[in-house]
Structure 1
């Protein structure tokens, strides 16, 4: 395995001295006596990586941007370059990642926060090279980070698949004033693993993002059966129409075929490929069988099922449930399934 390692040595510098971030505050952080956080986090991840895959080929950037920590962990790295000046910059990070891509690495392992993640993702744009973050920033809103430095090493050493996940960031000046508005900065390929953190977003932002994600993923010729509720209502608005809030609507290729339809009307509107989009009932977790009887077993059996929900709703309900009046169908639906919780991010949930 070939791993490119890049460290943002100033990531998290302003956290413990009360600056709520480092953007534009490096000098002030140091004046307050801030100690670097990222190098120690990098060393923890690399020590674990060396214990698990000592044979890995490690490529890195000079000095505090990787080489120091990589050598301290016992690797003999290939150093592809060095920071342009005494103070490292976002451009240094992007240059390092571009060099890793040219060297055909299997993974970019970076140490930093959301700003670093955005820089890495920008440099990887247009490639299929995955990235994985060792959390070292003050604010870590993106879902491309492992839970801990050690978890990052385990994932790097063992992953076999990748998926798209969200890179989020906030305006630190607004953050210091008490305003938190996470924004999607990029979508990146990341190893599939359980020990990745979820993206942090406000409830409204999450619903808006997942609605945009559904709208962006619609396929020509596919019929979409859109269930009731406010979350799927956001999907309907993202598709360009105001749906029936408590009813089921059918949409295909920009046209509303059925509004507030009955089972018979829905069945009549189905095509060769069909997707039913539903959201669980808050507090109960029912996907089918409560509030949407129009989505009968006959309708469901003709459709692929796409479940959407905010993170807060899933945290509250814990599991999903079905009660379709067809025990065989209920058994078919039970098990682990993906629920869209963001523009591209999904969470595994169990239907019981």
Structure 2
């Protein structure tokens, strides 16, 4: 009888907890407590469950994990064959717990470590793993700049399933990157390289490292901004929910409006009526007025929802409606996806299914292309 595939599972239960609260991250005890006090919900276990559900039918799988919310509860709920190899001594888990659990998984010689978190968690994992064991991240954080994450939680499960059936045998080196959250909250992105780890080489399911803009795209971005700003200026019916990113920021600049580069603002009748809103604030606004959402995709990854814009919650997106979602991106940005679809990782799989399909993307002045969204 062949040895079962040993999968290490580690969850950072607090990953992404600051996202819906517009806190621009979840690193640090102070931010965690602020998010919890504001009523934030822990979602990392739910996201890991979406990945592990894909593996429930395999009988050649053995899971090694940590206690409680770090993996035990999720595995037990799914009826997986699991063994606890690390027990946290803290009521609230810490980055040190992540590192200790990963260290024990490495010592146990697991075939792959599947972890749920954000870029801070990826840094913790990388500090222990280096290139000793292949890893794959389940995206659960506010910031996902690293290339070690699957494009969605379900996609992470698909990758592991392929490994269990022998379809994936190669790995590649992928970067771990993280940003300065203090600067991030001031609208500045300062990404730093922290190392590399091995990930399963399946680019349909594993995201690229986030890419910056290029100067030769600036003219096209100006055209997109001019086109959208003209429509907004003539519309006195809709609220305009302005997502994060430089393309949307250019639209706001064209209208002479202050912009939260890494947050979400709401515009009505040519004025900002709410700045840097939380998910609950935004839902209150769009529930009482017709609204349109202006958003762009992350260069190199193609994510539209679920990366740094958790204020756009499933309830908010449903209230706005698919027909009122305006995606703006240059054709060059779409070409960089190399045929991969735009991605929705809203946290609600049924909503992601509803949003999926061919969608119009504004790529210039009164210029659109139709592109798949999954």
TM-score strictly above 0.5 = yes
Q: CA deviation at 1:316?
A: 4.6
Helix, strand or coil: the match of 1:80?
A: strand
Paired position in structure 1 for 2:85: 80
Larger Cα-atom Rg:
1
166-175 vs 3-12, which deviates more? 166-175
Q: CA deviation at 1:37?
A: 1.2
Q: CA deviation at 1:68?
A: 0.5
Tell me whether 1:124 sits opposite 2:150 in the alignment: no
Find the partner of 1:141 among 131, 139, 145.
145
Find the partner of 1:31 among 12, 32, 37.
37
Contact 1:168 1:186 (C-alpha < 8 Å) held by counterparts: yes
Contact 1:142 1:200 (C-alpha < 8 Å) held by counterparts: yes
Distance change >3 Å, CA 32–CA 176, structure 1 → 2: same
Find the partner of 1:98 among 80, 99, 103.
103
Tell me whether 1:15 sits opposite 2:24 in the alignment: no
Tell me whether 1:71 sits opposite 2:63 in the alignment: no
Find the partner of 2:7 among 3, 21, 31.
3
* TM-score, with structure 1 as normaliser: 0.57
Distance in 2 of aligned mates of 1:115 and 1:153: 21
Paired position in structure 2 for 1:47: 53
Structure 1, gaps ≥5 residues long = 205-311, 320-352
Distance in 2 of aligned mates of 1:201 and 1:93: 28
Contact 1:54 1:75 (C-alpha < 8 Å) held by counterparts: no
Distance in 2 of aligned mates of 1:313 and 1:117: 29
Paired position in structure 1 for 2:189: 180
Helix, strand or coil: the match of 2:33?
A: helix
CA deviation profile, 1:281-319 (whole Å, cap 9, x unmatched): xxxxxxxxxxxxxxxxxxxxxxxxxxxxxxx96755787
Structure 2, gaps ≥5 residues long = 163-167, 215-330, 339-374
Distance in 2 of aligned mates of 1:314 and 1:180: 19
Q: CA deviation at 1:74?
A: 1.1
Provide the alpha-carbon RMSD of the alignment. Answer: 2.2
Helix, strand or coil: the match of 1:69?
A: helix
- Structure with higher RCO (Cα < 8 A, 6+ apart): 2
Aligned pairs for 1:268-287 within 5 A: none
Distance in 1 of aligned mates of 2:103 and 2:171: 20
Helix, strand or coil: the match of 1:190?
A: strand
Aligned pairs for 1:158-177 within 5 A: 158=162, 159-177=168-186
Distance change >3 Å, CA 86–CA 317, structure 1 → 2: closer
Aligned pairs for 1:178-257 within 5 A: 178-193=187-202, 194-203=204-213
Distance in 1 of aligned mates of 2:124 and 2:109: 19
Q: CA deviation at 1:76?
A: 2.5
CA deviation profile, 1:18-45 (whole Å, cap 9, x unmatched): 1111112000000100000101101111
> Runs of at least 4 residues of structure 1 off by over 6 A?
none
Q: CA deviation at 1:122?
A: 1.1
Distance change >3 Å, CA 149–CA 54, structure 1 → 2: farther
Distance in 1 of aligned mates of 2:138 and 2:337: 28
